[in-house]
Amino acid sequence: MCLFKSVRRHAAGFLGSAMVWANTRHRNRRVVIALPDFTYAVILADRGAHIMLQTTYVVDEAYLRKQMRAEWERSGGEDPMKG
């Protein structure tokens, strides 16, 4: 996570407004970074000692953006990369 924190610090203008949360899919922890309107998402796989890019995609369906917003809200808005 150290590298990501460094990247985040240097890209604060972009990531400062991003929605960031952790989720679990198939017992794997992931970090999701989305634009505030949830139209674009970056998924990072958290492998404990390191984090790697899993996928990125445009969220072009309104119902998927609504699902992502709900998941972010359920997470409490806590940024898993801070601290």
Q: How far from 8 is each of 30, 59, 66, CA to CA, in Å?
A: 16, 22, 25
> Residue 4 in contact with residue 46, Cβ under 8 Å?
no
- 64-73 tens-digit pLDDT: 999 999 999 9
- 16-71 tens-digit pLDDT: 688 999 988 888 889 999 999 999 999 999 888 888 999 999 999 999 999 999 99
Residue 1 has pLDDT above 50, yes or no: no
Structure confidence at residue 51 (pLDDT) = 86
How do the domains of the chain map onto residue ranges? 2-74
| Residue type for position 14 | F
